[in-house]
Structure 1
Amino acid sequence: MQQTDDWSKTRIEMSAVGVAGGGATWWLVEVLPDLLSNDRLGLLISMSVLGVFLVTMAMMGPVRLGRAVLGGLGLSLGIALLTFWASFRFDSASAFFEGGHPAAAVLVLYLVGIPFLLVMLEHGRGAWKDYAALFQTAWTIIVRFLAAGLFTAIVWGVLFLSNALLELVHISVIEDVLDVDPVPFVISGGVFGLALAVAFEWRDYISPHLLLRLLRLLVPMVMPVLALFLLAVLSNGLENVVQFGSQTGLLTAVAIGGITLVTVSVDRDAAHQVRARVLRWSVRILAVLLLPLAGLAVWGIGVRVAEYGWTPERLLAALSVGMVVLYGGSYAVLVLFPGNWAARLRGVNIALALLSVGLAVLWLTPVLNAERIAARSQVARILSGQVRPDQAALWEFAHKWGGAGQQALADLRARPDYPNRAEILAWAAKAEQSDTRYQYSKRAPDPAGPEPAVQLARLVPLRPQGATLPPGAFSALPKWRVSRAIEACQRVFDDGRPGCVYLQMAFLPHLSEPQGVLLLRETDTRVRGYIYVLRDGRLERDALLADWTTGIGATLPADTIQKVLEGAFQTEPAQVNVLKIGERALFPDN
């Protein structure tokens, strides 16, 4: 056992810091809003105060209280000022944080910044290059906070049980004390600080070593799964990769998990890294597989941006994918070269960690103003006619993207001539009148009317051969749906055939009304299907065509329409009838 000689002093200090932090949290939540009308100033004060306590509690033990407080003050004040500056993109600080992505940047700054700051305070300014110290410090903080959080939860469980027991004999002293406003905050902070002190005293036993070794055992399980996935992608053909556009988040999460497993396997130094031959080779193979997985994530975000333009969320996803590519590419190259590949990986980890801090800082500056970049992208799509009025990001301009969004709306109103200008401005007015996205989406425009519906009926070929639709079948559809279908039909193939087809088939045999699927070539490479039901001579959209194996809306290759036109399809009964086109089984997703 390794304990400090003045362990009682450490416990008192850390408990006191926790009590002060809990009391400060209560004051910031319950009192400060009534004292300040400027929520932006409240944001600056809250982030500074909470940040000081967070960083101080993370660093106390390894460094003295005074140094921990000064270090916490410097880091938290810097992050708070950056966030305060970035909040001026919006009318209020609360609107700034509603998007979620500013919190991601703040989280990165704290998660990566605290270990670097602590090793420099503990070992000297040059210690930021000491990977062993950084690795041990980062994981130790995580384990100490997890242990302290668990103990705090246990204490509250004991308090609730004790209160319930005493209430059996009509004693309410615990409940009466807890009803005093700051008490729950103070108890939580004090208990958390005390638990951190005990975890530091018993650091030989409460260490990250057990957790790291358990995580290593996941490598031989994750590696073959990832290899099988990539082999399946390769064997199914690259034309099916288009479906990954909506799965970028999943691919990125798996890649981050793989990066974490490789990192914990090489550990802090050669003395602690994996030694078993099976584990070492599994780690190397996993490191190589991260690169093609990152490539799929790049493809996914690229498809989404090409089709829908930039949004703040896609920009954040692109930066995350970019970091994954750097990790995956570096790991793959380094493990393939002979020599001490594990040591090379450790050096890369330091460089990429610092890069992530730099990107997080830029995210909170005008250099990476996500809302401005997104607004410019979406305005460009509107002006070029790439997006239908109902699908333009007009509600986001009005309610989600702050000053950049408002400027985009003003720009659209000021420009005299661009495609669908009248409809765009009408939808913009509706966006400003709608407090929620749901309200906005429910404000449907007028029906298409006879002329566009007649044009669509002339353009859409029907299958199977001999299938018919009554006159005016498309006339009850919203104008934008008809316009979208006409655009798809006019996106003809090289042989002159239209980029659309209506296939009559009974997906749900128990329904008496005729049913069918309208396949539309929405881009040069992508086809989507929409299920319709014919009621009283008018088509009504019922569902989206989904993949039977995944349950996700099906994104199909362009030649799907050509196959249907040629009759290369069949129906198969399941719980509902399933449409088979090639190897794909499709069904309506409600």
Structure 2
Amino acid sequence: MVDSGASTTLADWPLRPWLLAGILGLAGLLIHLFTQGHEDTPWRVAVAAFLFFAALSTAFTLEPVKWRGAAIFSVIIGLVMAGLAWRAVNYGESLPDEHYGFAAGVLASLLALPLFQAGFARKRLSTPYSDIHYHVWTDAISGAGALAFTGLAWIVFAVLSELFHLLKIDLLRDLMGEGWFGWSFSGVACGAAFGVLRNQTRVLGTLMSVVLLVLSLLAVPVAAGLVLFLLATALSGPDVLWEATRSATPVLLACAAGAYVLTNAILRDDAGSMSASRIMRIAALVLAAVILPLAVFAAFSMGLRLDQHGLSPERLWGLVAIMVACAFGLGYWVALARGRKPDWATKLREANFHLAIGVCALALLLALPVLDFGAISTRNQLARLESGEVSAEDFDYAALRWEFGEPGVRALTILARGSSGAAEYAQIALEQEQRGYRLDRQIRRDEDFNLRVQPDDPELRRQVLDYLRENGWACDQYCVAIQTGTAQDGGREIAIVQGSGYITAALPVADGADQPPAPAIETPPRSELREGSEVEIRTVEKRYIFVDGKPVGQPLD
């Protein structure tokens, strides 16, 4: 069933597929021209982001009568995302969360899109919920359909290229390897699909009804499963969750998000289109009610992590997600209490409307450089170190170096200049050229490695320790580093033996050493079996690493 008020917002416009195919195809071509070989140039990436998001927004909003408003909205979306892309590329190394900020901008754009389509700019809080509901689902369906058609178009093109290849005509094959053609073809196919789908109001309405019906069928078992989960958690205590997995928070948030989607699949846009099944309505009530408990459990899980490890930019973003989930859960509880038995569905729809506006504004705020999660987290971690809550040996210096952005690096610089026990660890972290990963302490001094080097050469030992400070996992316990050869550039090839295996590594040329010219590499002749070829078995000598007289791992050669 299609709401009469919402369905009239999309007019059948024969020119739409052609216009959108041209706009998205041209945008794809320009994106390629601006970024080819310059993916790390901030202004070029910003232009590409503007073209990408403005063109996609146009595909959703372009109408024959209201085209000026659609153009202004699309330009605003493009400028916002261009600014975020420029910031992420230009300051990427000094930002702790550039990808999260960009994702927040995408979320704000996605939420703003159906609000604009429903006329929120003019109607404000009087915007009909049915219009917003219609655009949310039809946008999702038409977007998925356009992506599916684009993939199908590429499959057809690939089949045709192979067909013509049989005739030794490789024009299509060659085109598939060209970057400009790939972007342009994808844009044209996607734009044409958008135009055709958004011209088919009745088809979109039917597809929306089918999608909502399928999701409604899933609501009953999911509601039952979540109720059983919460009951089991209440009986066994929440501690069992943290003992079973380290990823309880994202799992709980995913369940809360799923409950929200399935609740709205049953609610629909008004009482007339809502399922008359009593079981379905009870499932919607249950799903609406379990969002808050799931969010509270996620908050409790995050609280345990914060108590153990303190704040980090990633955990702060997790807290934001938990706050949003709690807001929806609490809003749903208030709506259920206000609506009571006869009017609870209407109150839930009102809560959806107001919460969506709030989340859109929050996402835009978080996308902008207003709150510095890196600085907030750095202050928290330094306070834990200074108070003795975490020792200098166990403090995560690598996280400050690689995850907290510029505030973390500044904090390490100050620590390295000090005279505390943290100074040496901080200096090692500052000298890191790549992120090292360990399950316990991230930074290790030379004396922290239980290492033997063969041959016992001080210069070789220094080079091995330099390597291990970047790759501490290679020597978690007792290990032996043995030189296995010399590389073509004069550096040393080593094997680091630990436990029942070993890894190989190539060390750079020692500082001040003369670097020999690289020898010419001769390609061995290829053997091809012919009539009269001599075929024989030979024993080839290979080198192994032996520990206590027994070979370890695969041969070196």
Q: What TM-score comes out, normalization by structure 1 length?
A: 0.68
Q: Map Cα deviations across residues 311-334 of structure 1 (whole Å, 9 max, x no partner).
A: 111111111111111111222332
| Aligned counterparts of 1:258 and 1:170: Cα–Cα separation in 2 | 55
Say whether the 8 Å CA contact 2:27–2:55 is kept in structure 1: yes
In structure 1, the partner of 2:315 is 314
Helix, strand or coil at the partner of 2:311: coil
Say whether the 8 Å CA contact 1:61–1:197 is kept in structure 2: no
Say whether the 8 Å CA contact 2:97–2:314 is kept in structure 1: no
Runs of 4+ with deviation above 6 angstroms: 1-6
In structure 2, the partner of 1:502 is none
Pairing partner for 1:352 from 345, 352, 355: 355
Pairing partner for 1:363 from 366, 390, 399: 366
| Aligned counterparts of 1:63 and 1:28: Cα–Cα separation in 2 | 32
Check if 1:209 corresponds to 2:209.
Answer: yes
| Aligned counterparts of 2:328 and 2:58: Cα–Cα separation in 1 | 31
**Cα drift, residue 438 of structure 1:** 2.3
In structure 2, the partner of 1:342 is 345
Pairing partner for 1:41 from 28, 40, 43: 43
| Aligned counterparts of 2:13 and 2:113: Cα–Cα separation in 1 | 24
| Aligned counterparts of 1:183 and 1:303: Cα–Cα separation in 2 | 51
Say whether the 8 Å CA contact 1:96–1:402 is kept in structure 2: yes
Give ranges in structure 1 of 5+ residues lacking alignment: 450-539, 541-590
In structure 1, the partner of 2:220 is 220
Aligned counterparts, 1:534-545, within 5 A? none
In structure 1, the partner of 2:155 is 157
In structure 1, the partner of 2:502 is none
| Aligned counterparts of 1:405 and 1:301: Cα–Cα separation in 2 | 22
CA 447–398 in structure 1, closer or farther in 2 if over 3 Å, else same: closer
Aligned length: 440
In structure 2, the partner of 1:130 is 128
| Aligned counterparts of 1:19 and 1:25: Cα–Cα separation in 2 | 10
In structure 2, the partner of 1:281 is 282
Give the residue type in structure 2 aligned to 1:352: L
| Aligned counterparts of 2:213 and 2:184: Cα–Cα separation in 1 | 36
| Aligned counterparts of 2:316 and 2:430: Cα–Cα separation in 1 | 25
Give the residue type in structure 2 aligned to 1:137: H
In structure 2, the partner of 1:112 is 111
Pairing partner for 1:379 from 382, 390, 398: 382
User: Which structure exhibits the higher relative contact order, with contacts defined as CA atoms closer than 8 Å and separated by 6 or more residues?
Assistant: 2
**Cα drift, residue 5 of structure 1:** 8.4
In structure 2, the partner of 1:456 is none
Say whether the 8 Å CA contact 2:249–2:301 is kept in structure 1: yes
| Aligned counterparts of 1:183 and 1:269: Cα–Cα separation in 2 | 46
Q: Map Cα deviations across residues 470-493 of structure 1 (whole Å, 9 max, x no partner).
A: xxxxxxxxxxxxxxxxxxxxxxxx
Identity %: 23
**Cα drift, residue 250 of structure 1:** 0.6
| Aligned counterparts of 2:162 and 2:192: Cα–Cα separation in 1 | 25
CA 166–126 in structure 1, closer or farther in 2 if over 3 Å, else same: same
Give the residue type in structure 2 aligned to 1:225: G
| Aligned counterparts of 2:125 and 2:93: Cα–Cα separation in 1 | 38
Say whether the 8 Å CA contact 1:52–1:73 is kept in structure 2: yes
Q: Map Cα deviations across residues 164-196 of structure 1 (whole Å, 9 max, x no partner).
A: 122122121211333444111111101111001
Give the residue type in structure 2 aligned to 1:230: L
Check if 1:298 corresponds to 2:296.
Answer: no
**Cα drift, residue 354 of structure 1:** 1.7
Which segment is superposed worse, 217-226 or 365-374? 365-374
Pairing partner for 1:182 from 180, 183, 205: 180
Check if 1:70 corresponds to 2:72.
Answer: yes
| Aligned counterparts of 1:77 and 1:315: Cα–Cα separation in 2 | 26
Helix, strand or coil at the partner of 1:389: coil
**Cα drift, residue 370 of structure 1:** 1.3
In structure 1, the partner of 2:453 is none
**Cα drift, residue 305 of structure 1:** 0.9
Give the residue type in structure 2 aligned to 1:431: A
Aligned counterparts, 1:148-547, within 5 A? 148-207=146-205, 208-240=208-240, 242-243=242-243, 246-336=247-337, 337-413=340-416, 421-422=420-421, 424-438=422-436, 441=442, 443=444, 446-447=447-448
CA 219–135 in structure 1, closer or farther in 2 if over 3 Å, else same: same
CA 239–214 in structure 1, closer or farther in 2 if over 3 Å, else same: closer
Give the residue type in structure 2 aligned to 1:67: G
CA 252–63 in structure 1, closer or farther in 2 if over 3 Å, else same: farther
Helix, strand or coil at the partner of 2:36: helix
| Aligned counterparts of 2:170 and 2:307: Cα–Cα separation in 1 | 63
| Aligned counterparts of 1:163 and 1:220: Cα–Cα separation in 2 | 47
Which segment is superposed worse, 436-445 or 40-49? 436-445
Q: Map Cα deviations across residues 482-513 of structure 1 (whole Å, 9 max, x no partner).
A: xxxxxxxxxxxxxxxxxxxxxxxxxxxxxxxx
In structure 2, the partner of 1:29 is 35
In structure 2, the partner of 1:493 is none
Say whether the 8 Å CA contact 2:57–2:74 is kept in structure 1: yes
**Cα drift, residue 100 of structure 1:** 2.9
Helix, strand or coil at the partner of 2:204: coil
| Aligned counterparts of 1:60 and 1:448: Cα–Cα separation in 2 | 63
| Aligned counterparts of 2:295 and 2:406: Cα–Cα separation in 1 | 34
**Cα drift, residue 388 of structure 1:** 3.5
CA 238–176 in structure 1, closer or farther in 2 if over 3 Å, else same: closer
| Aligned counterparts of 1:361 and 1:316: Cα–Cα separation in 2 | 14
| Aligned counterparts of 1:169 and 1:443: Cα–Cα separation in 2 | 63
Say whether the 8 Å CA contact 1:363–1:369 is kept in structure 2: no
Give the residue type in structure 1 aligned to 2:235: S
**Cα drift, residue 118 of structure 1:** 2.1
Helix, strand or coil at the partner of 2:119: helix
CA 425–409 in structure 1, closer or farther in 2 if over 3 Å, else same: same
Helix, strand or coil at the partner of 1:385: coil
Say whether the 8 Å CA contact 1:28–1:46 is kept in structure 2: yes
Give the residue type in structure 2 aligned to 1:15: A
Q: Map Cα deviations across residues 228-283 of structure 1 (whole Å, 9 max, x no partner).
A: 11111111135535537641011111111111111222111222222210000111
Q: Map Cα deviations across residues 173-232 of structure 1 (whole Å, 9 max, x no partner).
A: 211333444111111101111001110122211332211111111110101111111111
Give the residue type in structure 2 aligned to 1:248: T
Q: Map Cα deviations across residues 49-83 of structure 1 (whole Å, 9 max, x no partner).
A: 22211211121248654432221002221343356
| Aligned counterparts of 2:403 and 2:239: Cα–Cα separation in 1 | 35
In structure 2, the partner of 1:562 is none
| Aligned counterparts of 1:126 and 1:426: Cα–Cα separation in 2 | 58
| Aligned counterparts of 1:115 and 1:63: Cα–Cα separation in 2 | 18
| Aligned counterparts of 1:164 and 1:347: Cα–Cα separation in 2 | 55
Q: What TM-score comes out, normalization by structure 2 length?
A: 0.72
CA 162–64 in structure 1, closer or farther in 2 if over 3 Å, else same: farther
Helix, strand or coil at the partner of 1:114: helix
**Cα drift, residue 31 of structure 1:** 6.0
| Aligned counterparts of 2:445 and 2:228: Cα–Cα separation in 1 | 45
